[in-house]
Chain A
Amino acid sequence: MSFRADAIANLFRGLFRLPDTLLGLLDGLLDRLRRRGLGDAPAAAVLLLPAVLILTAFILVPMGSTFYMSLFGGRHGMGAFVGAGNYLDAMGSRDFRQSLLVTVYYVLGVIPVSMALSFLIAWGLYRIEAFRGFLRSFYFLPYVTSAVAAAMVWLSLFNPQSGVVNLVLGSLGMDAQQWLLEPRGVLHLMSGGAVPASWGPSLALTCIILFDVWHGCGFMIVVFLAGLSAISRELEEAARIDGAEGWRMLWHVILPLLSPTIFFLLIVGVIKAFQAFNSFYALTQGGSMADTQNLILYIYAQFYRYGYWGYAAAVAALLMLAIVILTVIQWRVIERRVHYQ
């Protein structure tokens, strides 16, 4: 009995040492190469190979091949060479321009609203002592949950017939709305019809924007809170002694000191907003209603539903270009105004 236990223990010890032995062997090999004057290069090659291989195969090369594929026509494959044909088609397509507009509305809605709201909540959390961590964990919760599952809940809450939202509106004596099924403009509905229905984002798109504000705020709140906590107390005290109070303190002391955080969230937020897909897909049931089809959903539909591979690649290339240009512009223009401590 004890013999068998020993054997098993030995076996396990051996198995446990196996990776160590292998690593030791590899290290010995690398060490011999190093002594031949190759320095750390062989070790670096071994360590970097897997990551570089995957990033090259699935991000870097595809960047190039997206442009390459965009030069060909055909369906479910690459057909004849059409040069800039796909790009010209996109420029002439109403649906493409509409999806671009939807994307712009979405970015212009989500970014300012969620940044302002997150900052105010973080500022509030920063000023309380008790329950800070407790409340923060609730605000962060939506961010970790699946957007698809959360969207199912929103679809039910905003259901025109049986949803809680219309129920509450009704009990307050207000009109029920179609919410996510409403293609008419939110400005049109709010102004009682004074603004044409086709102007501005539709009510459905506004609901998607609200959803993503709710879903994404947690991340921004936590980052803002970290930024606020990093501001030195002495600096704040000094400003207070100099007579800065309340809003003046916020505007002239806190916000400038926080500008690196704001800048970071802006860059990350804009990139993320341009690639929004899950919320759009789940809240519209993968629908292709023009008023809620953003660029990614448009690319997806052209590729997956209609099989225009080259055309989808062309629109994707335009999207990539737009993101890179926007990021560079933000970097160039705003970084100059960022105050680093």
Chain B
Amino acid sequence: MKARRVLLYLVLALGALAAVYPFLWMVGTAFKTLSEANTASLRLFPETWQWGNIAETFRAAPFGRYFLNSLVVSALVCVFVCLTSLMAGYAFARLRFPGRGILFAVTLCSMMVPFEAVFVPNFVLITRLGWYNSYFALIVPWCANAFSIFLMRQAFMSLPEEYYDAARVDGCGHLRFLFRIGVPLVKPMLVTVALFSFLGSYNALLWPLIVTADESMRVVQVGLTSFYSDAGTRLNLLMCASTVVILPTVVLYFLAQRHYVESALGSGIKG
């Protein structure tokens, strides 16, 4: 029995190692010299850490600009998704109005349609609006999504009725209740929605690839793919760039781990 337990731990630890090994290799290679990086070896970490590789990477391609674009776009998408899903989630959970059932069903249906399947007309719309190659194109289409609305609706529905009644008695209207009292009460779910909208936007590739043309409008994911074709032979710099691109999301992950897990659970409780 004891031996089986030890074996179980061993297998699980090996699996976890397999999950993170590519990242360890990435960080190790990022700080090797070029010749050391190019020699195939099982040595994970460099003989001497070449911290200068970071500066070199930022010189080799305008990653500073890519980062600025990515952060601006993802931060704004995150804020707007929070706003729209708070408002819509509250309305679906708390307000009685004609057409609520149908509207909510339609919202849920839009969850089934992947953005990848409708990007052609969206591209046409964006160019007609004159938004091609601009922040608007990168931000506006992503400012609302059905899944976040669904999650916020669940959060508001799980609040006890008394909160609403008490606020009503004090003469607090829906909007003030939502933003002044509701937001703190649904904060855990809101953080989850914020994290996932930020990540989704930061990690997106297809849409930025289609609607941006200039290097100055590139986001990090697009920048990284083009960096591969430009500097693919400079393996250490490529890994350094990958490390830099991954870093914000990993930091965010370890800071807010609880919320990631909760969100996965939230998505498991359908209906």
Contacts and interface: CB of A to CB of B under 8 A. Distances in A.
A58 interface: yes
A128 B210 CA distance: 47
Contacts of B13: 135
Contact of B206 (A30, A135, A278, A324): A278
Contacts of A278: 203, 205-206, 221
Given A39-B97, A54-B141, A146-B203, A141 B20 contact: yes
A299 B106 CA distance: 26
A54 B143 contact: yes
Nearest to A78: B124
A297 to B, nearest CB: 10
B260 interface: yes
Interface in B107-151: 107, 110, 112-125, 140-141, 143-146, 149
A28 interface: yes
Contacts, number: 306
A149 interface: yes
A68 B25 CA distance: 48
A44, A168, A299 interface centre (most CB from chain B within 10 Å): A44
Interface stretch (B45-53, B55-63, B185-193, B234-242): B234-242
A69 B124 contact: yes
Contact of B96 (A40, A149, A154, A271): A40
A312 B242 CA distance: 32
Interface in A46-101: 46-48, 50-55, 57-63, 65-66, 68-69
Contact of B239 (A41, A142, A152, A222): A152
B179 A264 contact: no
B109 to A, nearest CB: 8
Contact of A316 (B118, B140, B175, B235): B118
A112 interface: no
Interface stretch (A3-11, A158-166, A192-200, A247-255): A158-166
Given A27-B175, A47-B91, A167-B42, A313 B120 contact: yes
Contacts of B175: 23, 26-27, 30, 43, 46-47
B184 interface: no
Contacts of B250: 141, 144-145
A138 B97 CA distance: 46
Contact of B174 (A43, A53, A142, A214): A43
B103 interface: yes
A65 B116 contact: no
A60 B110 contact: yes
A252 B88 CA distance: 42
A309 to B, nearest CB: 6
B264 A219 contact: yes
Interface stretch (A181-189, A201-209, A231-239, A281-289): A281-289
Contacts of A135: 12-13, 16
A146 B40 CA distance: 25
B20 A138 contact: yes
A66 B206 contact: no
Interface string B75-103: 00000000111011011100111101001
A145 B74 CA distance: 15
B265 interface: yes
B224 interface: yes
Interface string B225-244: 10011000001001101110
Given A44-B95, A47-B91, 10 more contacts: A43-B174, A142-B23, A153-B242, A154-B22, A161-B40, A162-B40, A277-B205, A300-B210, A312-B120, A313-B120
Interface of A: 19-20, 23-24, 26-28, 30-31, 39-41, 43-48, 50-55, 57-63, 65-66, 68-69, 121, 124-125, 127-128, 131, 135-142, 144-150, 152-157, 161-164, 166-168, 214, 217-219, 222-223, 226-227, 261, 264, 268, 271, 274-275, 277-278, 281-282, 285-286, 296, 299-300, 303-304, 309, 312-313, 316-317, 319-320, 323-324, 327
7 contacts: A58-B140, A68-B121, A142-B19, A147-B205, A153-B25, A164-B40, A281-B205
